Amino acid sequence: MADNKAPPKDVIRILVSTDNHLGYLEKDPIRGEDSFRTFEEIFRIAKAAKVDLVLLGGDLFHENKPSRSTFFKAGEILRKHCLGDDPVHFEIVSDQSINFPDTACVNYENPNYNISLPIFSIHGNHDDPMGMGSFSALDLLGQHNLVNYFGKAHNINDIKLFPILMHKGSTKLALYGLGSVREERLHRTFQSKKVQWVRPLEDKDSYFNLFVLHQNRLRRNAFYKNSISESMLPAFLDFVVWGHEHECLIDPVESVQKRYFVTQPGSSIATSLSQGETVPKHVGILEIKGDQYRMIKKKLQTVRPFKMQDVVLSELNLDEEDVEEASQSLPQEMLPLIRIRVDHNGYRKFSSARFGQKFVGKVANPEDILLFSKKQRAAPKKTA
């Protein structure tokens, strides 16, 4: 795929991204704009790549009820990139009143709006439907025609997944989506065979079947109540975009039972200072032609540098040079995030905040550079 060249008439080109967490630390004077800056970059990439659509995997917003400021900034970016006269080159042949219950219409077909770049999104656990009427923040963006929000399960005990059927030239795409559901409940629904995958009535074998979900991912042929295992997903799927997991594993890998391929784009901003978030952040440009796909990854350039290092006090004396060293190996345009996990076994803890004061102006997170533990252990449980 060459940038700056529209996809051929039989190719559906999709930018995939997830966990943008808009509004994360919005009040932080250093990091407050990070989520928005990268979200903006993602749309610059989408436009440069002339994609047909953008597919988001949930956690668009960090807060379930985003502040007015965050909601406004999100709207600014979406308005800037999604409105316009450029034509959309695919058509939807499924029942839109089932796909998009709020609006009953994909945004670019609404005659009162000019949409040039359609976005399709499920919700994550951060922006899931809640409260009176069970609305998500995505319902609001959907109502104002900036996002096509889909995959909201109305009965968690009995889930029917209706695909959005997209045609472009001879390529046919069935896009399935399921917004975040509490892991244990979804697990149970899968186990009791109450997840129905509705297939196209006509020519179902001619469709490329793409699924986007937002759950804990289990990369083994096993069942754990708090995860969705790859082996629970049906064999007719061709490709899965896995949201919620913040580690960027963008290169598609075959599922454990060799049924389909999976990409895990990871978050576009680090919301926990854990190992998984240190992996360079990417988005994917997925191209589908007939039953074939290919994916090109694009490294995000605006993500704040983040470096993590382990130190064992009994083996080494921690001093400020470790921080200096860690931060100097990173590009310096933006203050980096630095985390040093300190195994202080046999030593007393000292004040992380006081330690950090020396790095104000040099590190973006002076208050929590140090993470103390009594012995080496896995990364702390993250909320993704």
Kindly tell me which residue out of 12, 16, 22, 26 binds a copy of itself, with binding defined by CB under 8 A. 26
Alpha carbon separation from 216 to 183, 219, 278 (Å, rounded): 7, 10, 19
- Per-position b or e across 275-313, b if 16+ CB within 10 A of its CB: bbbbeebbbbbbbbbeeebebebbebebbbbbbbeebbb
Number of residues that bind Mn ion (CB under 5 A): 6
Q: Respond yes or no: is residue 126 known to be catalytic.
A: yes
Q: Transcribe 334-350 into DSSP letters.
A: SPPEEEEEEE-TTS---
Per annotation, catalytic residue among 62, 81, 123, 126: 126
| Partner touching 26 among a copy of itself, Mn ion, none, CB below 5 to 8 Å by kind | a copy of itself
Q: 59 vs 287, which CB is nearer to Mn ion?
A: 59
Q: What is the DSSP string of 159-222?
A: EEEPPEEEEETTEEEEEEEE----HHHHHHHHHTT-EEEPPPSS-GGGSEEEEEEES-EE-SSS
- Count interface residues toward a copy of itself (CB under 8 A): 29
Contact 146, 82 (CB under 8 A): yes
Is there binding between residue 97 and a copy of itself (CB under 8 A)?
no
For 316-325, b where at least 16 C-beta lie within 10 A, e where not — what string?
eebeeebbee
CA distances from 301 to 5, 40, 44, 168, 229 (A): 22, 11, 11, 31, 32
Nearest CA to 181 among 195, 168, 169, 167? 195
Member of 14, 46, 326, 384 binding Mn ion (CB under 5 A): 384
Nearer to Mn ion, 70 or 171 (CB): 70
Q: Mark the segment that binds a copy of itself (CB under 8 A) among 37-45, 137-145, 155-163, 186-194.
A: 137-145
State CA 15 to chain mean position distance.
Answer: 11
Q: In whole angstroms, what is the distance from residue 303 CA to residue 34 CA?
A: 7
**Part of the chain binding Mn ion (CB under 5 A), chosen from 57-65, 145-153, 169-177, 361-369:** 57-65
Should residue 142 be labelled a site residue for Mn ion when binding is judged by CB under 5 A? Answer: no
**Interface with a copy of itself, residue 292, by CB under 8 A:** no
Judged by CB under 8 A, does residue 59 bind a copy of itself? no
Is residue 133 part of the contact set for a copy of itself (CB under 8 A)?
yes
Q: Which of residues 139-198 bind a copy of itself (CB under 8 A)?
A: 139-140, 143-144, 146
* 131 lines the binding site for a copy of itself (CB under 8 A): yes
Closer residue to a copy of itself in complex, CB, 24/355: 24
- The residues in 110-129 that bind a copy of itself, with binding defined as CB under 8 A, are 111-114
Q: Which of 9, 10, 28, 79 binds a copy of itself (CB under 8 A)?
A: 79
Residue 128 as a binder of Mn ion (CB under 5 A): the answer is no
**Contacted entry of Mn ion, a copy of itself, none for residue 72, CB cut-off 5 to 8 Å set by kind:** a copy of itself
Note the residues at the interface with Mn ion (CB under 5 A): 19, 59, 124-125, 244, 384
